[in-house]
Amino acid sequence: MTDTKQRLLDGTLTVLGAQGITGVSARSIAAAAGVNQALVFYHYGSLDVLLATACREATRDRVAAYAERFEAVSSLRELLRVGRDLHAAELRAGNVSVLAQMLAAGQHGGRIADTTAEAIQLWVDEIEKVLDRLLADSPVAEIADIPGLARAVAAAFIGVELYEGVNPEGADRALASLDQLAVLVEVVDELGPLARRALKSRIKKVTR
Amino acid sequence: MTDTKQRLLDGTLTVLGAQGITGVSARSIAAAAGVNQALVFYHYGSLDVLLATACREATRDRVAAYAERFEAVSSLRELLRVGRDLHAAELRAGNVSVLAQMLAAGQHGGRIADTTAEAIQLWVDEIEKVLDRLLADSPVAEIADIPGLARAVAAAFIGVELYEGVNPEGADRALASLDQLAVLVEVVDELGPLARRALKSRIKKVTR
DNA sequence: GTCTATAGTAGGATAGAC
DNA sequence: GTCTATCCTACTATAGAC
C-alpha cells in the first residue's frame, strides 16, 4: 500500500468524521489527505470505491483492535462497558459514526450498501461470539435467536452513535439507562437453580 | 399553507426516501414536487430551512397518527409490535428513515441538528409515556431511568431502520429476536409478589 | 406566485506534462 | 505516481419578466 493510497483512506475518515457524508467529495478528501484531487481517481477509480475501501479497512482495524476486549467480556454489563469505551474513544479520535454515515449513504443499494452491510457483519460476528458465551446457560438462550440479538445490538449501537451527534446528553442518558437495565438482567441471570427452573417452565408456557 | 409549499414538503420526503440525504438538492426536490426549482428559495429561503421544515412537519404528522396506538399499548411486546408496524408502514410508503437521513446530515450542528433533535424528542415523549405506564409497578422502575430508556428505545429503532436499508433480512431477524426477548421480560414482570420481592432485594444489594 | 435565464460555484472525471 | 489544466455537469441562489 503506497503512502498516498493510505493517506486517501485516512483523509476519507477525516472528512466523514468532520463533515459527514454530505461533506464528502474527491476534493475535500484529497485536501484532508494533503494530496492532489486527481489521485483519488488514479488510485481508486471512483469516489464510491474509495469510500467503500475506507469503510472496510477502518472497520477491520477497529474490530481487530477490540477483539481482545470482546474476548475478555464476561457479563452483559461488561459488553455494554466495552461499547461505551469504544464509543468514547471514537468520539475523541473524531472517527465518530463512520459506519453510521456510510449506512445513511448506502440506503439505496450499490457498492456502498454492500460494503456497509459487510462491515456491520464484522461487528455482529464479534458480538455474537460474546452473546453465545454469556447466554449459553441463560434462559435467554432458550427463547431468543442469538445471531438476531447480535444484529439488534449492533444496529442499536449505531443508532445511539447517530443520536449522540444531535443530542450528546440524551445519548449519555440512554446509555446510562441501559447500564441500569443490565443490572436487572444480571440479577435474573443469577437466580438460583430453583427460580431459574420456574422461569423456564413459565417461558415454555407462554411461548407454547 | 399554499399548495406549492406543501408540494415542496412532500417532494422533500420523496427524495429523502428514494435517494437519501446524498440525493437531496433544490432541483431534485422541485422535480419530485413537480414545481419550479426557484420556488424552493422563494418559499423557504434555503434548502436547510426546507429540510428542517419537512422533517418537523413529517414527524409531527407521524407521531400524531400513532398517538392512539401508543396509548393503547399495554405491554412491552405490544410496544415493539407498534414499532414494527410503524416500520413496515413507513417502508411501504417509501418514507423510510427520513429521520435517520436527517440525523446523518445533522451530525455537525446547525439547523438540521437542532430540528432533528426536536423531532426525535417527539417520539421519545410518546415512548416515555408508554414506559411510564408499563413499568410503574415493575422492578425496572426501581433501577432504571425511564426517560433515558425512552431515548435508548428511539435511538435503537432508528439504528434498525438504517440497518434495514442495507440488510433487510438481518433487520427482520434483529426485530424478531427482540420480540422473543420481550417474552422473557414479561415473564419476569409477571412473577408472583414473593419472587418479585426477592428480585427487588437482590437488586438493592447489587446496586448499593 | 411562478416562470425563464443566468451568474457563480463546486464537484466528477480525464488528458497530458513531468 | 503526481502534478496542472481543463471539460462538463450539477448545484445554489438571484434577477427580472410575466
Q: Which CATH number fits the domain that encloses residue A38?
A: 1.10.10.60
| pLDDT given at position B208 | 65
Whole-number Å distance between alpha carbons of A153 and A173: 17
CA of A69 to C1' of D8 (A): 51
How high is the pLDDT of residue A208?
A: 65
CA(A21)–C1'(D6) in Å?
27
Distance, Å, B112 CA → D15 C1': 29
- Please give the residue range of the domain that contains residue B113: 46-207
Percent of chain A topping pLDDT 90 = 75
**Distance in angstroms between the alpha carbons of the first and the last residue of chain A:** 56
Nearest CB partner across the interface for A151, out of B19, B105, B174: B174
Output the average pLDDT for chain A.
Answer: 92
- Give yes or no: residues A18 and A75 share one domain: no
Q: Is B118 on the interface with A (CB under 8 A)?
A: no
Q: Give yes or no: residues A102 and A200 share one domain.
A: yes
Those residues whose C-beta lies under 8 Å from the C-beta of residue A193, and which sit 6 or more positions away, are: none
Task: Indicate the pLDDT class of residue A96, thresholds 50, 70 and 90.
Answer: low
What is the average per-residue pLDDT within A19-43?
A: 98
Minimal CA–CA distance to B125: which of B117, B136, B137, B114? B117
The answer to whether B2 CB is within 7 Å of strand C is yes
Q: Higher confidence at residue A208 or residue B39?
A: B39
**Between A147, A166, A203, which is nearest B183 by CB?**
A203
Same-domain status, A41 and A87: no
pLDDT of residue A84: 96
The per-residue pLDDT for range A50-83, each reduced to its tens digit, is 999 999 999 999 999 999 999 999 999 999 999 9
A124 and A61 co-located in one domain: yes
Say how many domains are in chain B: 1
In a shared domain, residues A125 and A33: no
B58-92 as b/e, with b when 16 or more CB fall inside 10 Å? Answer: bbeebeeebeebbeebeebbbbbebbbebbeebbe
- pLDDT-derived band at A205 (thresholds 50, 70, 90) equals confident
Question: Which has more confidence, A167 or A205?
Answer: A167
A180 contact B CB<8A:
yes
Residue with cell 433487520: B171
The nearest alpha carbon in chain A to B113 belongs to A166
Number of H helices, E strands in chain A: 11, 0
Give me the average pLDDT of each 10-residue run along chain B (208 residues): 94 95 98 98 98 97 96 95 94 81 93 97 98 89 92 97 96 95 78 72 73
**What does A83-133 look like in DSSP terms, one character per residue?**
HHHHHHHHHHHT-TTHHHHHHHHTTT-HHHHHHHHHHHHHHHHHHHHHHHH
Residue A200 pLDDT > 80, yes or no?
no
Report if residue B15 sits inside a domain: no
- Closest CA relative to residue B40, chosen from B3, B2, B9, B1: B9
A57 vs A143, higher pLDDT: A57
A26 CA to C9 C1' in angstroms comes to 16
Question: φ and ψ at B145, to 5 degrees?
Answer: -80, 110
* pLDDT tops 80 at residue A194: no
Query: Which positions ≥6 away from B78 have C-beta within 8 Å?
Result: B72
Extract the C-alpha cell encoding A77: 454489563
- Is B125 inside a domain boundary? yes
Q: Which helix (H) or strand (E) holds A208?
A: none
- Mean per-residue pLDDT, A162-190: 90
The residue written with cell numbers 450542528 in the block is B109
Specify whether A20 is located in the same domain as A53.
Answer: no
Is the Cβ–Cβ distance between A140 and B184 less than 8 Å? Answer: yes
Contact A166 B120 (CB under 8 A): yes
Task: Give the domain CATH number at B53.
Answer: 1.10.357
Q: Are residues A117 and A40 in the same domain?
A: no
Mean pLDDT of the A132-158 span: 92
Is A65 in the same domain as A153?
Answer: yes
**C-alpha to C-alpha distance for B5 and B1, rounded to whole angstroms:** 6
Q: Are A39 and A31 in contact (CB under 8 A)?
A: no
Q: How far apart are CA B183 and CA A143, in angstroms?
A: 8
Nucleic acid strand C: bases within 7 A of protein CB: 1-5, 10-16
- Indicate the pLDDT class of residue A109, thresholds 50, 70 and 90: confident
Q: Which chain A residues touch B206 with a CB distance below 8 Å?
A: 183, 186-187
For residues A38 and A99, state if they share a domain. Answer: no
Across the interface, do B139 and A184 touch by the CB < 8 Å criterion? yes
